[in-house]
Amino acid sequence: MMRYCALVGMLWVIVLGTVATAHAASADASTPALTEAEKVWLKKHGVIRVHNEMNWPPFNFNEGGTPTGFSIDYMNLLAAKLNMPIRYITGPEWDDFLQMIRNGSLDVMLNIVNTPGRREFMAFSDPYITSPTGIFVTRDNTNIHSLDDLNGKTVAIPRGFFFEEILKKSYPRINLLLEEDALQNLESVAFGRADATIGEPGVMKYLIDTHFLTNIKLAGQASDRRFTSDMSLGVAKDQTTLLDILQKAVRSVSAQELQQLYARWNLDATRQEQVVALNEAETTYLSQLNTVRVCVNSRAMPYEGIDEAGVYEGISSELVKLLGKRLNIAFEAIPTGNFNTSVSALEAHVCDVMPMVLPQTAVDARLRDTKPYLNVPVVLATRTDEIFLGDTHQLAGKTIGYVPGIFSEERIHKRYPDLKLEALPSLKEGVAMLREGQVDGIMDTVAALAYGMQQNGWYDMRIAGRFDEPLILSMAFRSDDQLMQGIIQKSLNALGPDAPKSLYDQWVSIKYVQSVDYTWVWRGLLALGVVLVFLWYRNRQLSQFNRRLEAIAVTDALTGIHNRKKLDEVLKSESERVERDGGTFSVILLDLDHFKKVNDAYGHQEGDAVLLVVCDAVRRAVSHRFTFGRWGGEEFMVICPDTPLLAAASAAEIIRREIMLAPQGAPGPQTASLGVGEYRRAEGVQSFLPRVDEALYEAKRQGRNCVMTAEKQASPRHPHNSAYTLM
């Protein structure tokens, strides 16, 4: 038997071995080009020793003796590209790994953050993934949302992790509880030893879900940029050749290869919220700026503009807001008249960024720019009484108006040499010229024309065709401002291509002209719609009635949770699934301690009220994937799919604690005894349940208010310093 009532002990496992079988198929054609000296170094050094943590999923952890996680897959990919043998070292704590780098018994640290303290003895590759840092507290804590709220509080963090260096130096009023890893930190919060913990949200969510720490929530994000986890590969400071080799491999990883790794480890969602990974020079540069000043063409809506109240608006304003959130810095709009005045303001250091320009580097030595972040279609607008042209090649000899600065006449002529081009003072004046017949059409984007239609009532216009040449937009900077270019480029990379496109699409709303009379079509569809709605309503009523009957059949009348019938159905389904597909499931059986005394002393009505409070407490504690029901009387069951014994025991401990802490009326606090068992394949439910029942009664014999498992089972990893003991 295992008894879970006050956990002690330490797990120290060192697994030296498992030379990584790097997936050669993962390496693409971009194999790093090593120098002869680097090849000789690799051959002479032999196997590269790489750190593997016990419990930092989904990035770096060990499962059944096998190193696994995003960072492990990333290192395997690099090793395949380099044809480099590697061996993972598993077991030491983070602080010990750092010491191993110092003494030369370890070659590479994965997922390590580059900090000033570490740079004294380590060198680092470019970051390969970035994530913010979240603040985690118990669900009933409503007072902690930021780092400032942690002053005077106890915060659990892993010993030797980069947070420790920053917190000790810059946040001396925060009391630190240094433990082995993130799982211990979460458990310290769950069981009241710490007020909060901080960590990478993807890691914390994984641990919360897999260890059923359901009373923990994400309360906020550390706004201090130093807490951003820019994860790199780290080597000893004197291992310059190894760093050069790894750096070449890191830079050879394609966007597609990274995306495959993100998808495999479900990291896309976390990366949507990531902060931009800046290097030290860029971080210093940005910290010296109070704001980043934006040159805004005040009369270029919907791209950008300044309204009568002086408010920056348009597509570029929304994009700049997104970048400001990524960089945690304010942007200030500086109004200018047109492209040329914006460039002059940029050269005079009046502003720092032009947010929406054509790619300029090749044509204007005064500027440097980002990679294009938005390609938008260019269309032809004509009067509604014009015959539809459809193909822009039919425009030979026609006079087409365009707005200089937005479109390059040189590019248009090169693409469409037969067009007669007419420069327009503005789009609004161009529409007047179109109405008067001075131009045959106007070339512009859908967003600009749609905005004009909405603002000025240009409903005598329509889209008559589309040009093959799109409008390509970049951000521009002073030619000598390389750092700002790098900062903004990384921010745009972090946003991804969909964000600018989504902002653009919000401005697009086109009036489509129909040439067919749909009156009778609509009348027929309306009649058909009435019939379909009636049939849908009747079917919906029948479905609702059937769902109600089904719910009544499987619901306990008093508590509103599942009844014995539903539990039997789920047990049968889970056992059949395991016999058919493999896997496992566990069952938690709990019984209230001395509940008969409550009924005897206070009556059955008060006893029913106690049961309702207990059910609410258990519902708060269990995962939504679990099935919770009333087994009979004051006995309840929780069925835990795909959950091994120790994980179910951790969940049971949380349930026990929630029941004990649940506010009761006159009867006072209640306790429960819990038995936990894991289903064995081919065992059968009728043999399995008596084992769980026996564990429950063993908990009663051990003094009640504790958790017992149905069998002894050695654990490759179990929590430390928790509120229960492994016996």
- Residues marked active site are found at 634
Asked if 30 contacts 252 with a C-beta cutoff of 8 angstroms, the reply is: yes
Token output for 688 = 């399995």
* Of 490, 472, 474, 475, residue with least CA distance to 353: 475
Quick one: CA torsion of 717, 718, 721, 724, rounded to 10 degrees? Answer: -160
**Cα 59 to Cα 74: distance, rounded to the nearest angstrom:** 10
Residue showing tokens 């960590």: 199
Residue showing tokens 């069951």: 637
Residue 216 φ then ψ, to 5°: -110, 140
| 76 membership: H or E segment, kind and range | helix 70-82
Asked if 48 contacts 84 with a C-beta cutoff of 8 angstroms, the reply is: yes
Token output for 209 = 């879900």
Helix, strand or coil, per DSSP, at residue 301: coil
Q: What is the separation of C-alpha 400 from the centre of its chain, rounded to a whole number of angstroms?
A: 47
* Of 236, 321, 322, 329, residue with least CA distance to 278: 329
Token output for 380 = 């032809």
Sign of CA dihedral 627, 631, 637, 640: negative
Residue 3 φ then ψ, to 5°: -110, 130
**Cα 43 to Cα 54: distance, rounded to the nearest angstrom:** 30
Amino acid at 310: G
Per DSSP (E only), the strands in 298-428 are 299-300, 304-306, 312-313, 330-336, 354-357, 367-369, 374-376, 378-383, 399-402, 420-423
| 109 membership: H or E segment, kind and range | strand 109-113
DSSP code for 148: G
Token output for 183 = 């799982």
Asked if 475 contacts 492 with a C-beta cutoff of 8 angstroms, the reply is: yes
* Of 548, 641, 521, 520, residue with least CA distance to 588: 641
Which DSSP string do the residues of 429-447 spell out, in sequence order? Answer: HHHHHHHTTS-SEEEEEHH
Q: What is the 3-state secondary structure (H, E, C) of 525-594?
A: HHHHHHHHHHHHHHHHHHHHHHHHHHHHHCECCCCCCECHHHHHHHHHHHHHHHHHHCCCEEEEEEEECC
**Cα 223 to Cα 476: distance, rounded to the nearest angstrom:** 28
Taking each continuous run of H as one helix and of E as one strand, the counts in the chain are 24, 35
**Cα 277 to Cα 258: distance, rounded to the nearest angstrom:** 16
